[in-house]
């Protein structure tokens, strides 16, 4: 087995709907300064009262495509799918005790009808589950749609964007859509992070323009660091970092002169049960946060979001106060 060091960060105080209290966090990484950096951000959050976390949406997709002779055939097919949604959902849900079809997003282009099936998948990440359910639903569609000939059908059209960053996931959600937010006290930032709220706010504005110019899927700094470290430690499918790394960061100065900061992760793909979560070390890491097993995936999502915000605070403060390079020189593995 490949060996990757695991460090423990925290505790981190979380005021969530599913994660409530203080949590120590396992992070598997070869980067020498990573755990120390996240600890620094967690300290700033704790001294300011904790981080509030909220899951606003939850969906996993499979996106088949149906090909017709012309655009009218594709358009009329989509209308028929909408009219028969309840039966399609019953066919899909018959394949699983967990999967539930929430809605179907249709996208029309040329003579193609793309259907983005959106499921809830319980405590599993759910890609295989929704593939099986969508295949059953599409079988019923192909057997019962008679108005126009379906020239060709593919179970996946690339619109679900498995293992790829995409704008559709940022807009529509894939996995858990979770937000972490905190109000960082001015005296905490100046005393412990050596930076004023105004400097962090200005840096965030400048960095957002840089993100636009680069075409990045994230206007924050490095959410993938925390997400990857926690994914490896807890047995997640690490390739899902490609989608899960997307982030939307926002800051503002409050009337009291403190810093409000929040990040939304629109496509956090995780599981608390099944797959790699059952491996010995990975299960132990999940149990450390009381996140192993059924009914725990939303708690895990809130903890990951809080950790991501701590990392953003720490690195933004280091860059704004010019401590970034010196910290790596002192604590990194480059010596």
* Residue 159: inside a domain: no
Residues composing the chain: 335
CATH code at position 126: 3.30.70.420
In the listed set 87, 119, 154, which residue is the last one of a domain according to the structure? 154
Scanning the structure block, which residue is given the tokens 């997400």? Answer: 227
Q: Tell me the mean pLDDT per 10 residues along the chain, length 335.
A: 90 98 97 93 98 97 98 98 98 96 98 98 94 98 95 96 93 96 97 95 95 95 97 97 96 97 98 94 97 96 98 94 54 56
Amino acid 320: pLDDT: 86
For the entire predicted model, the pTM comes to 0.93
* Residue 135: inside a domain: yes
Amino acid 2: pLDDT: 81
Tell me, yes or no, whether 141 and 203 share the same domain: no
Taking the alpha carbons at both ends of the chain, their separation in whole angstroms is 27
* Residue 80: inside a domain: yes
Q: Which H, E and C letters describe 205-216, residue by residue?
A: HHHHHHHHHHCC
Tell me, yes or no, whether 212 and 97 share the same domain: no
Tell me, yes or no, whether 258 and 315 share the same domain: yes
Amino acid 328: pLDDT: 47
Q: Are 179 and 53 in contact (CB under 8 A)?
A: yes
* Residue 160: inside a domain: no
In the listed set 154, 180, 214, which residue is the last one of a domain according to the structure? 154
Q: Report the distance separating Cα 81 and Cα 104, nearest Å.
A: 9
CA-CA distances (angstroms) from residue 46 to 15, 153, 187, 259, 288?
11, 53, 13, 14, 19
What region does 101 belong to: left with phi over 0, alpha with psi -120 to 50, or beta?
Answer: beta
Q: Report the distance separating Cα 205 and Cα 261, nearest Å.
A: 12
Q: Are 262 and 179 in contact (CB under 8 A)?
A: yes
* Residues belonging to the active site: 31, 237, 328
Amino acid 331: pLDDT: 55
Tell me, yes or no, whether 74 and 138 share the same domain: yes
What residues make up the domain containing 45? 6-57+169-331
Cα–chain center distance at 259: 24
Tell me, yes or no, whether 99 and 227 share the same domain: no
Amino acid 335: pLDDT: 54
In the listed set 96, 127, 154, which residue is the last one of a domain according to the structure? 154
Tell me, yes or no, whether 50 and 106 share the same domain: no
């Amino acid at each position: 087995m490949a060996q990757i060091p695991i460090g423990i960060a925290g505790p981190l105080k979380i005021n969530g709907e599913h994660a409530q209290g203080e949590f120590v966090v396992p992070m598997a990484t070869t980067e020498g300064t990573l755990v120390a950096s996240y600890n620094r951000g967690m300290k700033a959050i704790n001294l300011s009262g904790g981080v509030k976390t909220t899951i606003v949406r939850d969906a996993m997709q499979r996106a088949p495509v149906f090909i017709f002779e012309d655009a009218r055939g594709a358009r009329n097919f989509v209308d028929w799918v909408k009219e028969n949604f309840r039966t399609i959902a019953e066919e899909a849900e018959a394949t699983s005790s967990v999967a539930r079809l929430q809605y179907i997003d249709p996208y029309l282009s040329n003579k193609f009808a793309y259907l983005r099936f959106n499921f809830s998948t319980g405590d599993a990440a759910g890609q295989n589950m929704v593939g099986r359910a969508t295949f059953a639903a599409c079988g019923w569609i192909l057997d019962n749609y008679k108005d126009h000939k379906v020239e060709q059908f593919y179970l996946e059209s690339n619109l679900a964007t498995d293992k790829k960053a995409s704008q559709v996931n940022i807009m529509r959600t894939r996995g858990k859509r979770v937000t972490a937010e905190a109000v960082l006290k001015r005296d905490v930032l100046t005393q412990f992070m050596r930076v004023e709220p105004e400097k962090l706010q200005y840096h965030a504005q400048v960095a957002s323009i840089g993100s636009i110019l680069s075409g990045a899927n994230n206007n924050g700094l490095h959410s993938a660091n925390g997400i990857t470290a926690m994914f490896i430690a807890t047995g997640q499918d690490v390739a899902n970092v490609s989608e899960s790394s997307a982030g939307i960061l926002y800051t503002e100065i409050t009337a009291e002169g403190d810093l409000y900061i929040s990040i939304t992760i629109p496509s956090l793909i995780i599981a608390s049960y099944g797959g790699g979560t059952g491996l010995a070390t990975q299960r132990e890491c999940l149990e450390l946060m009381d996140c192993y097993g059924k009914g725990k995936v939303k708690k895990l999502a809130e903890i990951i979001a809080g950790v991501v915000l701590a990392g953003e605070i720490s690195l933004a403060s280091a860059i704004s106060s010019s401590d970034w390079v010196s910290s790596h020189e002192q604590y990194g593995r480059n010596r």
